[in-house]
Amino acid sequence: MTGQLKETMNIKFENFVDTLDGEDLFDKTKRLDEVLSSGVLTGNEALGMVTMNKVQPESGIKEKDGSVHSVIMLGSNSYLNLSTHPQVMQGAREALEKFGYGMGAVSNYAGITDIHKELETRIARFYGTEDAIVFPSGYGANVGIVSALCGKNDIIINDAANHASIFDGCVLSGAEIKVFPHRDMKYLERILSRIPDEKTGRLIITDGVFSMDGDIAPLDRIVELAQKYNCRIMVDDAHGVGIVGKTGRGAAEHYNVMDKIDLHVGMLSKGPGGLGGYCAASKKITQYLRLYARSYFFSTALPASVAGGLNEVFKLLETDNAGRKKLWDNINYLKEKLVKEGFDIGHSQSAVVPVMIYDEAVLFEMYEKLRQRGVYVNIVTYPAVRRKECRLRLCAMKDLTFEQIDRAVEIIAELGREYGIIK
């Protein structure tokens, strides 16, 4: 192990969070600055680098030192390349011309247009619900929905791998929070069976497709358990919408339980390639959220141009014409190649493909070298996952060619062998 790697071991994300006795509030920022500028790898080196093109399979990136080079892009959540789809961009352009670039008001005042209303109608139709509400950010959607619907007398039961925004919403709600190990249905039932009868406000929350593992929540079992123990269900299908399920309607369609989910939450920022979050549900629920979800009530509405682009996205998704089949060819090809090289890719069932590294110091070095050698992937460690489960996170994208995937996997495999991750 190099000296640099050894030193890295003591530098932890959470070291800088707490202010010690007698310290100024900002001292933690100075301590962090010293470490980041010391030359020791911390995994943060490329965070905040600049991309030079719209989302596309080969992109220019500008490193923090100002150097520019080209990478094969395996780190974008725009899995279907809809952020650059001509029909989508035209929809955005037309709305931009009509309404300008910002809304200047929250949704409940003068912040929404017919274009926004059309988007909500399209999302509701996509899920077969009475209505849908669109939030200006995905993070804000989860925080707002959970904290509006749950309070101190309620109990929320979460998969441990749920997104941070869900946990933040839980904390804000003041409800009792329970967590079951990732996809562990026995443990979930153990929690449910011990909830006192008088605690009747019960919500099970799970990601549909998990953002760091790419696997799908066992919604068939979750529905059974929710029915048995009188719980409501919320599914955040940020990474499933448009991609998994027979017609791309996500994890609930994959398990044929679309009509059993109380709150279909999703993000407009991943597969749909735009921005924002939504909840498709009954009219009574959306009406309640419009008044009590604080991240909706107190936050300026989505720009009309984004909503205009998203209307075109949902036209493509409704008819399953967004290129899902081509994306799946790439997902399967990428996964096959990685497995053939000997990598552990977990149990991915989506466009998110983890490559398990299990050693944080190696992860940081590999991430650096991959970029230098022309492959961009995401780096995932604490606090997104446990340190010992650290990994590279690869995203398949529809417009990648097999040749680009070949080249990327070859480079990842060379480094994997160099660091002893594969033989």
Ligand X SMILES: Cc1ncc(COP(=O)(O)O)c(C=O)c1O
* Binding interface with ligand X (CB under 6 A): 137-139, 142, 163, 165, 207, 211, 236, 238, 267, 269, 277
Q: CB-wise, 163 or 178, nearer to ligand X?
A: 163
Q: Indicate the residue among 171 and 339 with the shorter CB distance to ligand X.
A: 171
State the CB neighbour count (10 A cutoff) for residue 201: 16
Closest distance of CB 207 from ligand X, Å: 5
Q: How far apart are CA 131 and CA 125, in angstroms?
A: 8
Parallel/antiparallel/unpaired status of strands 176-180 and 263-267: unpaired
Instruction: Supply the minimum distance, in Å, between the C-beta of residue 136 and ligand X.
Output: 9
Task: Report the alpha-carbon distance of residue 275 to residue 135 in Å, rounded.
Answer: 9
Residue 86 buriedness (CB in 10 A; 0-12 / 13-18 / 19+): exposed
Nearest approach, Cβ of 340 to ligand X (angstroms)? 28
Nearer to ligand X, 57 or 271 (CB): 271
- Which residue in 128, 347, 142, 333 sits closest to 250, CA to CA? 128
- The strands making up 232-236's β-sheet, listed across from edge to edge, are 131-135, 277-281, 263-267, 232-236, 202-207, 155-159, 176-180
Rounded distance, CA 249 to CA 383, Å? 29
Residue listed under structure tokens 């994959």: 254
Task: Tell the smallest beta-carbon distance from residue 398 to ligand X (Å).
Answer: 19
Reply yes or no on whether 270 is catalytic: yes
Question: Per the residue annotation, which of 116, 182, 239, 337 is the catalytic one?
Answer: 239
- Reply yes or no on whether 264 is catalytic: no
Measured from the CB atom, the residue of 269 and 348 that comes closer to ligand X is 269
Q: For residue 330, give both structure tokens.
A: 């790439």
Shortest gap between Cβ of 349 and ligand X (angstroms)?
Answer: 15
Least Å distance, CB 410 to ligand X, is: 29
Closest to 27 (Cα-Cα) out of 42, 36, 17: 17
In the chain, the amino acid numbered 169 is G
The answer to whether 163 is a known catalytic residue is no
- Whole-number Å distance between alpha carbons of 240 and 337: 22
Residue 207 or 360 having the CB closest to ligand X: 207
CA atoms within 13 A on the CB side of 36: 15
Residue number with CB closer to ligand X (43 or 138): 138
Residue 354's SS3 state is strand
- Extract the tokens encoding 188: 């979930």
Give the residue with the Cβ less far from ligand X, 94 or 168: 168
**For residues 298 and 402, which CB has a smaller minimum distance to ligand X in the complex?**
298
Q: Are strands 68-74 and 232-236 parallel, antiparallel or unpaired?
A: unpaired
Selected catalytic residue, list 163, 270, 335, 398: 270
Instruction: Name the closest residue to ligand X (Cβ).
Output: 138
Length of the chain: 423
Catalytic one of 78, 165, 173, 211: 211
Least Cβ distance, residue 55 to ligand X (angstroms):
14
379 membership: H or E segment, kind and range: strand 375-380
Q: Long-range contact list for 91-94, CB < 8 A, 24+ apart?
A: 91/308, 91/309, 91/310, 91/311, 91/312, 92/305, 92/306, 92/308, 92/309, 92/312, 93/305, 93/308, 94/308
Rounded-to-integer distance, Cα 303 and Cα 93, Å: 12
**Least spacing, CB of residue 243 vs ligand X, in Å:** 13
Active site residues: 211, 239, 270
